Structures are given as structure tokens and as C-alpha cells.
């Protein structure tokens, strides 16, 4: 038995070794020559034909479920990515997996509107490797002559949004005032384009001081589609200052009661308005709208509501004649409201109100 096994394994060993060598060599060659595929993504950038042009359209049509961006047949914006499928011998394909491919730059003539990808664009075929598939297969491209416009008077472009109720814009300016914005893009669009500097006052209290983005305003949707790719705005942000103030309102009142506030006295006195009948005068209230509305409610709810006149020291035996103006009247509880002359008084060019203090003497018993 042992002799048989020895003869089986070691008999004619030279021929068996040669056969084994050729068998391994054929297997290795067949393995390396087996056709393989390798799918990867290549970066592709499309640039204008020259500095005098801008690209306004660069789209593709998805034709394969392998490239799912958007429904089939619908033009999609090109994202500078091309999915390629390499096919070739296993050995060469394995080498490709470790290669860092450079970005492909495509510069096309202005009149070339459709570009179909070819192997030659990527340096293939080579070493028995070819590109079996491109996704997308082609690009739709449009180039237009470049134009430039300079926007001045930027303060007029400030749009103040979300102004709190009861407030209004007091001032708005761009810093520095000489700041300009340069728009570069398709000539046909630049000539019709305007901009806006949108300032939201949601969380800015009564003042905003900071940078805001320059927002292009397109004349129509088609222009917006063009400008979305070929438009450049410099600078992209501008320093802006916006100040708010409480919205003001005027409330003229034909008759408001006057109350004279006297120092402590032991002798009774009588006070008479010299140029008015009774104890009411016409006045005009001016101030914050919310305060004016509150004052209007107070006047309606309290018919006896009055304004105070602070009486100075006087001769308690003789009395005297004094004057007061509307801006010296005292109005309590309404800090945002001022008192000024009624329109009727302004027309008559009156300056002040006059009143007389008359001491009242007790009758002798």
C-alpha cells in the first residue's frame, strides 16, 4: 500500500510539476483577463468660451433609473457630476479603483448648444479599458454675452420688513453712503435687473445695524432661471442701518377741562380764564399712536378728565394775573404724548392763555 501511494505522488514527478505550473499560469491569466466593470463619478466643469461670455443654461435629461435626479425626460440642472461605467480586464479595472481622476474642464464654443460625452474626453479607451456608459449622456448648454451694471443710491433699495405694529421707519441708510453694487451676468438680464436689501425687524427692537444680503429681483420667471446660474453680485452683503420710531398721530380736541393746581392757601381764591368761557380750552395732542388711542378712550370714558396748570406763588391779598402755554400743561399717565396749540389758536396767532386770581374775602358778621 505504501509503495502504491509513493508511486502515485512521486512517480514521474517532473511531468506532474510541469503540468501544475501550466495549470496555475493559465488560471492566473484567465482570472486577470476576466472582463469587469467599475462604476464611479467624475467631476466635470463647464466653463464659458471666453471671459466675454457667461453660461446661462446647463441641463441634462435623465434617461436611466440609475441616475434618479428627477423624472425621466425632465431637464435637470447639471450638478457637475457624471457617472461613468468602465469596462475591461480585471487587472486594469483594479488599477483604476485607486486612481484619483482630475476634474474635466469643458470649454465650448458659444454656438454649441448640445454636448455629448465621448470616451476621448476622459482619455479612454486605454489599456484595453473603455467607458461603456455615461449618465447623463449629453448636456444642453446656452451661453450669452456678458454685461455689467452698477447700482447706486442703495438706501432706496432698502426694504424694511416685519415692522412692529405702532411703529414706522424713521431712517434707513447704507454705510458708507457711497457704497455701490456691481452686477455681472447675461447682458439681456443685467439691463432689466434690480436689487433689494431686505431688513427684517422681527428681533431688532427699534434699530438694526448690520449686514444684509443683496437680493436680485428678476422681471419674470424665465429671467430668474437664467440669473440663477450666470449672475454674480459684488459685494454679496452690504452694511445697513435702519431706525424705527413710534407711529405718531394728532388728536385735536375742542374743549378740555383745565384744573389749576394751587400752593397751600388759607384764603379762598377765585380763578377766571380771561380769554375763554368756562373752564375748558381747545388743545391738540400729539404723540405715539398707541398712546393717542389710549388717551382718546380716556377722554370718552371720563368726561371730567382735565389738564393741570401749575399756579406760581402770588400775593394772597391782591391776587394777580398770570399766563400759561399749552406745552406747560400737565398730562399724567401719557408719557408719549405732547400738548400743543389747537389749529384755531394758531390761525389767530395766539401765544398764551391768560387767567386772573381773585382772593375771596369773607363777609363781616
Whether 234 is covered by a domain: the verdict is yes
Domain presence at residue 93:
yes
* Same structural domain, 39 and 134: yes
Cell digits of residue 5? 501511494
Q: Are residues 239 and 252 in the same domain?
A: no
CATH number at residue 182: 2.170.120.40
pLDDT of the chain, 365 residues: tens digit per residue: 566 555 555 556 565 555 555 555 655 554 445 678 899 999 999 999 888 998 888 888 766 555 455 455 678 889 999 999 999 888 888 888 888 889 999 998 998 899 999 999 998 988 888 998 999 999 999 898 999 999 999 999 999 999 988 888 999 999 999 999 999 988 888 888 889 999 999 877 789 999 999 999 888 776 666 656 678 899 999 999 999 988 889 999 999 999 999 887 777 889 999 988 888 999 999 998 889 999 999 999 998 899 999 999 888 888 899 999 999 999 999 988 999 999 999 999 988 999 999 988 765 43
Establish if 241 belongs to a structural domain.
yes
Same-domain status, 263 and 237: no
| SS3 assignment, position 94 | helix
Note whether residue 25 is domain-resident: no
Residues 6+ apart with CB under 8 A from 259: 279, 306, 307, 308, 309
Do 173 and 135 fall within a single domain?
Answer: no
Domain housing 352: 248-359
Contact 82, 117 (CB under 8 A): yes
104: cell is 474635466
- Distance, CA of 296 to CA of 301 (rounded, Å): 9
- CATH number of the structural domain spanning residue 321: 2.170.120.30
Single out the residue in 109, 144, 179 at which a domain terminates: 144
pLDDT in tens, 107-118: 989 988 999 999
210 and 189 together in one domain: yes
Closest C-alpha among 319, 302, 299, 303 to residue 311: 319
Q: What is the DSSP string of 145-204?
A: EEEEEEE--GGGGEEEESPPTTEEEEEEEEESTT--EEEEEEHHHHTT-EEEEEEE-TTS
**Distance from C-alpha of 78 to C-alpha of 227, rounded to nearest angstrom:** 15
Cα separations in angstroms, 122 against 36, 101, 251: 19, 9, 79
* Within a domain: 181: yes
Same domain, 214 and 256: no
Q: What is the pLDDT of residues 259-309, one digit of tens each?
A: 999 887 777 889 999 988 888 999 999 998 889 999 999 999 998 899 999
Distance of CA 314 to the CA centre of its chain: 65
At 17 the pLDDT is 59
* Whether residues 44 and 85 fall in one domain: yes
Are 87 and 156 contained in the same domain? no
Q: Are residues 238 and 262 in the same domain?
A: no
Of the three residues 199, 218, 246, the one that is the final residue of a domain is: 246
pTM: 0.58
Q: Is residue 27 part of a domain?
A: no
Distance (Å, rounded) from C-alpha 349 to C-alpha 365?
A: 49
CA distance linking residue 258 with residue 161, whole number of Å: 43
Q: Which of 168, 162, 338 is nearest to 246 (CA)?
A: 168
| CA 104 – CA 82 distance, rounded (Å) | 10
Dihedral angle sign, alpha carbons of residues 86, 88, 92, 97: positive
- Rounded alpha-carbon distances, angstroms, from residue 348 to 64, 181, 279, 343, 354: 87, 53, 20, 9, 15
**Same domain as 354, residue 257:** yes
In a domain, 187, yes or no: yes
Number of domains composing the chain: 3
287 cis-preceded (ω within 30 degrees of 0): no
Q: Does residue 89 form part of some domain?
A: yes
Amino acid at each position: 500500500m505504501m509503495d502504491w501511494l509513493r508511486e502515485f505522488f512521486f512517480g514521474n514527478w517532473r511531468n506532474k510539476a510541469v503540468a501544475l505550473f501550466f495549470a496555475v499560469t493559465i488560471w492566473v491569466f484567465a482570472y486577470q483577463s476576466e472582463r469587469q466593470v467599475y462604476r464611479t463619478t467624475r467631476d466635470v466643469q463647464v466653463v464659458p468660451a471666453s471671459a466675454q461670455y457667461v453660461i446661462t443654461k446647463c441641463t441634462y435629461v435623465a434617461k436611466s433609473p440609475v441616475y434618479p435626479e428627477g423624472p425621466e425626460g425632465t431637464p435637470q440642472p447639471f450638478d457637475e457630476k457624471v457617472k461613468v461605467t468602465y469596462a475591461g480586464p480585471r487587472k486594469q479595472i483594479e488599477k483604476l479603483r485607486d486612481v484619483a481622476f482630475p476634474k474635466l474642464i469643458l470649454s465650448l464654443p458659444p454656438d454649441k448648444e448640445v454636448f455629448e460625452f465621448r470616451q476621448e474626453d476622459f482619455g479612454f479607451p486605454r489599456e484595453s479599458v473603455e467607458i461603456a456608459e455615461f449618465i447623463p449622456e449629453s448636456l444642453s448648454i446656452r451661453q450669452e454675452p456678458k454685461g455689467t451694471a452698477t447700482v447706486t443710491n442703495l438706501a432706496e433699495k432698502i426694504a424694511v420688513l416685519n415692522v412692529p405694529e405702532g411703529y414706522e421707519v424713521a431712517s434707513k441708510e447704507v454705510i458708507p453712503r457711497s457704497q455701490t453694487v456691481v452686477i455681472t451676468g447675461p447682458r439681456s438680464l443685467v439691463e432689466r435687473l434690480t436689487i433689494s436689501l431686505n431688513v427684517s425687524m422681527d428681533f431688532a427692537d427699534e434699530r438694526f445695524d448690520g449686514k444684509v444680503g443683496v437680493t436680485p429681483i428678476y422681471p419674470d420667471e424665465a429671467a430668474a432661471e437664467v440669473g440663477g446660474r450666470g449672475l454674480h453680485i459684488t459685494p454679496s452683503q452690504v452694511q445697513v442701518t435702519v431706525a424705527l420710531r413710534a407711529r405718531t398721530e394728532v388728536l385735536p380736541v375742542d374743549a378740555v377741562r383745565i384744573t389749576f393746581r394751587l400752593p397751600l392757601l388759607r384764603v379762598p381764591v377765585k380763578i377766571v380764564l380771561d380769554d375763554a368761557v368756562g373752564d375748558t380750552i381747545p388743545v391738540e395732542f400729539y404723540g405715539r399712536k398707541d398712546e393717542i388711542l389710549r388717551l382718546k378712550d380716556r377722554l370718552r370714558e371720563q368726561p371730567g378728565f382735565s389738564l393741570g396748570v401749575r399756579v406760581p406763588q402770588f400775593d394772597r391779598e391782591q391776587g394777580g394775573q398770570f399766563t400759561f402755554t399749552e406745552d406747560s400743561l400737565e398730562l399724567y399717565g401719557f408719557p408719549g404724548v405732547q400738548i400743543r396749540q389747537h389749529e384755531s389758536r394758531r390761525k389767530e396767532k395766539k401765544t398764551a392763555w391768560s387767567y386772573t386770581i381773585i382772593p375771596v374775602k369773607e363777609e363781616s358778621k
